[in-house]
Homo-oligomer: A and B are copies of this chain.
């Protein structure tokens, strides 16, 4: 077992593992006058084992389609990512734009086009402003260096208010392994592969099928357990590149080392996933919804997701209201097997509802807990032993206000002659 105690946090984000380089520049994708970083490259000169999970939305952005096809055919060892435009619902032209970008980068790096993963995030439905991206690609490759991990974390941000990056080191056998990650949120976040990008680099040496399984399990225990607004994006992507530079012997399937890798990936992804919720669009609270005593795992999940996605429950949290009546009403419509008279609801361990009715805890005590910016709702169904946890947030008037219009994007696209 790889206990959290065996994990050391280190500096450097995605550049912390041996042999990874990065670069980020501003291409003015959203707006030519915007100086913020919006184009990023991650690269390992050593060939990598790569694994990923992608959005389960049936409408997939062009870069998701292209990357999925490339990863089936070849070994990815570079990731090019942009913010400001999702390149989603852009037809054949969108796919061509993604391929063309990969082609140019591949040529400059001296690798094959299919060794590049492409990721985009931003507004849906507008063509990519290639006239601004293409000329910047050579500069991006020239800037590659081992100190630019943080720049990449900045370049992929959209409505995020802060960068999300982390790096850890741990020991597998006698070998020190490093793992780095960066991710972005912050709206369209819902279970089933949350709306986000996350890139993870590691110098571990690991077999592809073993890495893919570990990544899928780690995503299920982290990104698939968060929800901000219940909306699932077209661009969700988690990519892990392992270049083996730690010098360890290759990790094999079903080995102790493979389990340790999965544990390290879960640790890292859970940190990233929780930081996405904390920085969710206009979020004021981080709430853990813990479901216990469900008959089945699926029942526990249904209850957790119904509560975590209820507009009324989330509104009450925004108002510091420990409204267990709204929580139990969402439990009731979750379609899980529940019996009203058995349901207990605790807030940070204090009973709010026992046996489906109001508990004796004073309302003031409960209000003080819900007024905090981090608390846990525990729902015990007393129907069985299955459990599930969801990480969610409140819903604020400011969220709606923030999401009222993306008109500025269209105006710029019109200026660019793209629409």
Q: A residues within 8 Å of B by Cβ?
A: 56-60, 86, 88-91, 123-126, 187-188, 190, 192, 229-234, 309-312, 315-316, 318-321, 323-326, 328-336, 338, 340-341, 353, 355-358, 363, 367, 395-401, 403-407, 410, 414, 419
Q: Chain B residues with Cβ under 8 A from A187's Cβ?
A: 312
Q: Provided the pairs A125-B328, A353-B89, A397-B398 are in contact, do residues A232 and B315 lie with their beta carbons within 8 angstroms?
A: no
Query: Contact partner of A329 among B233, B323, B401, B403, CB < 8 A?
Result: B233
Given contact pairs A321-B404, A404-B319, A230 touches B311 in the complex (Cβ within 8 A): yes
Q: Supply 7 A–B pairs (Cβ within 8 Å), ascending by A.
A: A89-B356, A124-B325, A231-B329, A311-B400, A316-B404, A363-B419, A367-B407
Q: With A123-B325, A338-B58 as given contacts, are A231 and B401 in contact (CB-CB < 8 Å)?
A: no
Instruction: Find out whether the CB atom of B333 lies under 8 angstroms from the CB atom of A232.
Output: yes
Asked if B341 and A91 sit within 8 Å, CB to CB, the answer is yes
Give the residue of B333, B353, B396 whose beta carbon is less than 8 angstroms from that of A57: B333
Shortest Cβ gap from A60 to chain B (Å): 8
Q: What residue of chain B has the Cβ atom nearest to residue A123's Cβ?
A: B325
Option from B363, B401, B403 in Cβ contact (under 8 Å) with A312: B403
* Cβ-neighbour of A340 out of B59, B312, B319 (below 8 A): B59
Contact, CB under 8 Å: B59 / A125: no
Asked if B414 contacts A363 (CB within 8 A), the reply is yes
Known: A59-B328, A124-B328, A318-B400. A340 touches B89 (CB 8 A): yes
A90 CA / B356 CA spacing, docked (Å)? 8
A235 to chain B, nearest CB (A): 9
Enumerate chain B residues within 8 angstroms of A341, measured Cβ to Cβ: 91
- Asked if B58 contacts A405 (CB within 8 A), the reply is no
A126 surroundings in chain B (CB, below 8 A): 325, 358
Are B57 and A124 interface neighbours, CB within 8 A? no
- Which of B91, B326, B340 lies in contact with A356, CB distance below 8 A? B91
Residues of B within 8 A of A57 (CB): 329, 332-333
Contact B59 A338 (CB under 8 A): yes
Q: Considering the chains assembled together, what is the distance between the CA atoms of A396 and B91 in angstroms? A: 32
Q: Is the CB of B312 within 8 A of A229?
A: yes
The answer for the CA separation of A160 and B377 in the assembled complex, in Å, is 30
Q: Which residue of B lies closest to A330 (CB)?
A: B231
**What is the chain B residue whose CB lies nearest that of A414?**
B363
Pick the contact of A188: B123, B329, B399 (CB < 8 A). Answer: B329
Contacts of A338 in B (CB 8 A): 58-59
Q: Which of these, B229, B335, B401, contacts A311 with CB under 8 Å?
A: B229
* Cβ-defined contact, B397 with A325, below 8 A: no
